[in-house]
Amino acid sequence: MTTTAATPAVADPTGPTIATHCPYCALQCAMTLAGPQAEVSGRDFPTNKGGLCQKGWTSATVLRAPDRLTTPLIRGRDHELHPASWDRALALIAERITATKATYGPDAVAVFGGGGLTNEKAYTLGKFARTAIGTANIDYNGRFCMASAAAAANRALGVDRGLPFPLADLAGAQAILLLGSNLAETMPPAVQHLAGVRGQGGLIVVDPRRSATARLTADGAGIHLQPAPGTDLVVLQALLHVVFAERLADESYLAQRTSGVEQVRRSVSTWWPERAEQVCGINAETLRTVARRLAAASPAHGGRGAMILSGRGVEQSTQGTDTVTAAINLALALGLPGRAASGYGAITGQGNGQGGREHGQKADQLPGYRRIDDPAARAQVAGVWGVDPETLPGVGLPAVELLRRLGTPEGPKVLLVHGSNLLVSAPNAGRLRDRLAALDLLVVSDFVPSETALLADVVLPVTQWAEEEGTMTSLEGRVIRRRRAIDPPPGVRSELDILAELARRLESEVDLETGPAAVFDELARASAGGPADYSGLSHARLDLEPDLFWPCPATGPAGSQHPGTARLFTDTFPTADGRARMIAVDHRGPSDDVRPDAPIYLVTGRVLQHYQSGAQTRRVPELAKACPGPYVEMHQALADRIGVVEGELVVLTSSRGEVTAAARLTSNIRTDTVFMPFHWSGAGSANLVTTDATDPISGMPEFKVCAVSICASRPSQQAADPAPRRSGDSLSPVPVRVLMDEENR
């Protein structure tokens, strides 16, 4: 494979200072970029208050990655990727899409997006898929991230916005229950908002590991609950049992603002703390203490406020939707949503995980967070797009099911990937590798040669965060401006330009805008009246007012400009009757539970220095040096039992495959559990062993728990190499398809 390295040119050689936001997580920390090298400085903002984590401080390094993609690549007859012209690459893609549609129909072409794309790109990708291609099969990696929390919030509260209040509200809470989120490593600047609750001894962290966040509860700052993996739902059911049994519920709130409480009251009656202790492993009296502390902090009992927050640790489960539902039930029973310094919220992970699912990348949604099977929603969006609503496809396949069907007789034959490194980030990676190889055409748009790009037939080089204009939506529903600070390298194009040109070559009757501001204006019109209404927003307004939250309709009271909605649920819930719905749920346990041949739980997660698939952070020398490769964290007692010492290679084996990494010994994890970060490819890729079983409601895979066996590595095995692998590697077999014409070699 050939890549062309280039240093981004700067439009103004004096290097103006540009106000923008970090390219990584949904905290979207504010920063400034200055000079030809885009030097990073922290910028004061309500979420980060001028602070940045290691990833943020080094974020500009990826702009200068030595292997930056700057020219299209096409796989040749020698099975290698070779430079090609844009005209040839786009012509080839259009030809193959057209031929595939003619033979198999439009659903044989699939599109996979990413939670790091701007709102403008996410919107255009959905519009392109449904008009230029006509396929129902579009989904995105947010299905791996927020789907369960979204499904639970939609059915219980009537809307899904990660945090229905500003992040800064955490500072006023007297108690916070944090489920399955390691904020101290995944979003370090957010930890400052926990100072107040820690000072009152009210931080309660639920995690099978004594993570950096769990350690914040030390010295009287709170309580760490260490349940068996996959039993968080039991913990929540027991807490709610105590709330009802000890008459700690806000009965007035329940009567006035909820429905379904009696069914929930009955459902948790069987989860008394002593029974729960037998399943989750947490002492019954500790469960009672936590329930009482949350109740004492609630407004109904004169407290200053209580919050219940969930993260991927409890959501990435086959019962993730039900677990989040149980968390919402607990919050409603205590009368928290809509009250000061109180409520339920989900910690969104990806940079634009919120906006990415609001505007059309998800298989079942249209812009504005509308359902694609809603006739009124179809008519509204079709009117903006200038098409007949009948021509819009219906609900497509959710991400994991879509990936399972790639290259099968009934599944997609062509896949276009934007903003996602599937080979590292998707579960059951061995099966996925086979499915990608079975495609007739794999097209990947990226700015570095990720592991997925190295398997592609066509690779298209695209702009990075500091090289483009657009908007992102943070974990709190705040719509923020991403600004261009430097020019992209010559030969690189924006996905807005690429999709518009492909639509033209596919002879689409629908024009696609290419200017980010114009795309946003169209997005705003398409979202009007939907749950995620952006119709009162524009790039120009956001440049002047950086503190706007959706929903933000075009007009406010008495025809005034709407101020945006920082806090939801203060008066009503956006449901048919204005009430929140309490829904009875129950514990089923993990799909892949421990057993004699796989007696250890594996949980996965992130580390401080790396982000998602690691395609960006592994290219930053400072971050790679600080955490150079994968590892298996295990308790010293478990290591003693299997005869493993610190740093020794171990093999984890599941029913899907095996993974090899160095042992890291600790006392901060349960003795029946091991932990692996998921940022690496090759033999150390955690997703070689994770299960692709999914939640039946949300379609989210059960990343966070599976059963494995563990032993010392065989002498012949080699340690995992954290460096990206070429497509000819034995771990990444070259697809058999050959696309490049002889004259273009």
**Mind listing the pLDDT tens digit for each residue in 208-249?**
999 999 999 999 999 999 999 999 999 999 999 999 999 999
Topology annotation, domain 18-64: N-terminal domain of TfIIb (2.20.25)
**Biggest CA-to-CA distance, the chain:** 79
Tell me whether strands 370-371 and 414-418 are parallel, antiparallel or unpaired: unpaired
Higher pLDDT: 684 or 722? It is 684
Looking from the CA of 418 toward its CB, the CA atoms found within 13 Å total 30
For 416-448, how does the pLDDT look when each residue is reduced to its tens digit (9 = 90+)?
A: 999 999 999 999 999 999 999 999 999 999 999
In the predicted structure, residue 733 carries a pLDDT above the cut 70:
no
- Angle formed at CA 682 by CA 680 and CA 683, multiple of 5 degrees: 105
Q: How confident is the model at residue 721 (pLDDT cuts 50, 70, 90)?
A: very low
> What pLDDT is stored for residue 726 in this prediction?
31
- Cα–Cα distance, 721 to 661 (Å, whole number): 9
Q: Reading across the β-sheet that carries 414-418, which strands appear in turn?
A: 81-83, 73-75, 458-461, 441-446, 414-418, 109-113, 138-140
CATH for the 147-346 domain, from 3.40.228.10, 3.30.70.580, 3.40.50.80, 3.10.20.30: 3.40.228.10
Is the Cβ–Cβ distance between 497 and 124 less than 8 Å?
Answer: no
For 75-122, how does the pLDDT look when each residue is reduced to its tens digit (9 = 90+)?
A: 999 999 999 999 999 999 999 999 999 999 999 999 999 999 999 999
Q: List, by residue range, all CATH 3.40.228.10 domains of the chain.
A: 147-346
- Cα–Cα distance, 590 to 610 (Å, whole number): 27
> What pLDDT is stored for residue 739 in this prediction?
58
Question: What is the architecture of the domain spanning 73-145+352-533?
Answer: 3-Layer(aba) Sandwich (3.40)
Name the residue among 348, 609, 479, 442 with its Cα closest to residue 93. 442
Indicate the SS3 state at residue 555.
coil
Token pair 């050959």: residue: 738
Indicate the SS3 state at residue 317.
coil
- Cα–Cα distance, 176 to 192 (Å, whole number): 14
Higher pLDDT: 720 or 412? It is 412
For 544-602, how does the pLDDT look when each residue is reduced to its tens digit (9 = 90+)?
A: 998 899 999 998 777 889 999 999 999 999 999 999 999 999 999 999 999 999 999 99
Letter for the amino acid at 631? Y
Any alpha helices (H) in 614-688, and if so which ranges?
621-626, 636-642
Token pair for residue 9? 């040119």
- Cα–Cα distance, 167 to 473 (Å, whole number): 13
Dihedral sign for Cα atoms in the order 319, 322, 327, 333: negative
For 331-356, how does the pLDDT look when each residue is reduced to its tens digit (9 = 90+)?
A: 999 999 999 999 999 998 898 989 88
Is the Cβ–Cβ distance between 449 and 724 less than 8 Å?
Answer: yes
- Cα–Cα distance, 659 to 650 (Å, whole number): 8
Q: Reading across the β-sheet that carries 39-42, which strands appear in turn?
A: 18-21, 30-34, 39-42
Q: Taking residues 287-298, report their average pLDDT.
A: 98
> What pLDDT is stored for residue 714 in this prediction?
55
* pLDDT over 70, % of the chain: 94
Token pair for residue 722? 């954290």
Q: Reading across the β-sheet that carries 343-346, which strands appear in turn?
A: 222-225, 203-206, 175-179, 306-310, 343-346
Dihedral sign for Cα atoms in the order 91, 93, 96, 100: negative
Name the residue among 26, 17, 21 with its Cα closest to residue 50. 21
- Angle formed at CA 633 by CA 632 and CA 639, multiple of 5 degrees: 95
> What pLDDT is stored for residue 567 in this prediction?
98
Tell me whether strands 343-346 and 306-310 are parallel, antiparallel or unpaired: parallel
In the predicted structure, residue 703 carries a pLDDT above the cut 50:
yes
In the predicted structure, residue 265 carries a pLDDT above the cut 70:
yes
> What pLDDT is stored for residue 731 in this prediction?
32
Q: Taking residues 469-489, report their average pLDDT.
A: 96
Letter for the amino acid at 485? A
Q: Which helix (H) or strand (E) holds 224?
A: strand 222-225
Task: Identify any residues that bridge with 664 across adjacent strands, giving them in sequence order.
Answer: 633
- Cα–Cα distance, 303 to 415 (Å, whole number): 53
Q: Exposed, middle or buried, 11 (CB in 10 Å: 0-12/13-18/19+)? A: exposed
What residues contact 186, with CB distance under 8 A and at least 6 apart?
Answer: 25, 311, 349, 606
Q: Taking residues 146-162, report their average pLDDT.
A: 95
Tell me whether strands 414-418 and 441-446 are parallel, antiparallel or unpaired: parallel
- Cα–Cα distance, 93 to 73 (Å, whole number): 12
CATH of domain 600-712: 2.40.40.20
Distances (CA, A) of 263 to 151, 260, 329, 614: 20, 6, 11, 44
Phi, psi (5° rounding) for residue 323?
-65, -45
Predicted TM-score (pTM) of this structure: 0.94
Give the DSSP letter string of 226-284: -PPTT-HHHHHHHHHHHHHHTT-S-HHHHHHHEE-HHHHHHHHTT--HHHHHHHH---H
- CA dihedral (159, 161, 163, 166) in degrees, to 10, reads -110
* pLDDT over 90, % of the chain: 90
Is the Cβ–Cβ distance between 4 and 21 less than 8 Å?
Answer: no
> What pLDDT is stored for residue 2 in this prediction?
39
- Cα–Cα distance, 36 to 13 (Å, whole number): 7
What residues contact 14, with CB distance under 8 A and at least 6 apart?
Answer: none
Q: Taking residues 390-398, report their average pLDDT.
A: 97
Phi, psi (5° rounding) for residue 169?
-65, -20
> What pLDDT is stored for residue 560 in this prediction?
87
For 294-342, how does the pLDDT look when each residue is reduced to its tens digit (9 = 90+)?
A: 999 999 999 999 999 999 999 999 999 999 999 999 999 999 999 999 9
Letter for the amino acid at 214? A
Phi, psi (5° rounding) for residue 332?
-70, -40
Q: Exposed, middle or buried, 504 (CB in 10 Å: 0-12/13-18/19+)? A: middle
Q: Helices 232-245 & 273-280, crossing angle to 10 degrees?
A: 170
- Cα–Cα distance, 656 to 702 (Å, whole number): 13
For 664-697, how does the pLDDT look when each residue is reduced to its tens digit (9 = 90+)?
A: 999 999 999 999 999 999 999 999 999 999 999 9
What residues contact 429, with CB distance under 8 A and at least 6 apart?
Answer: 423, 657, 685, 687, 688, 690
Strands (E), 606-657: 631-635, 649-653
> What pLDDT is stored for residue 725 in this prediction?
33
Q: Taking residues 626-638, report their average pLDDT.
A: 97
Letter for the amino acid at 633? E
- Cα–Cα distance, 388 to 510 (Å, whole number): 11
Q: Helices 284-297 & 232-245, crossing angle to 10 degrees?
A: 60
CB atoms within 10 A of CB 292: 16
What residues contact 256, with CB distance under 8 A and at least 6 apart?
Answer: none
Is the Cβ–Cβ distance between 469 and 517 less than 8 Å?
Answer: yes
Higher pLDDT: 146 or 251? It is 251
Task: Identify any residues that bridge with 651 across adjacent strands, giving them in sequence order.
Answer: 660, 711
- Angle formed at CA 127 by CA 122 and CA 129, multiple of 5 degrees: 95
Q: Taking residues 393-398, report their average pLDDT.
A: 97
CB atoms within 10 A of CB 390: 7
In the predicted structure, residue 634 carries a pLDDT above the cut 90:
yes
Q: List, by residue range, all CATH 2.40.40.20 domains of the chain.
A: 600-712
CB atoms within 10 A of CB 514: 18
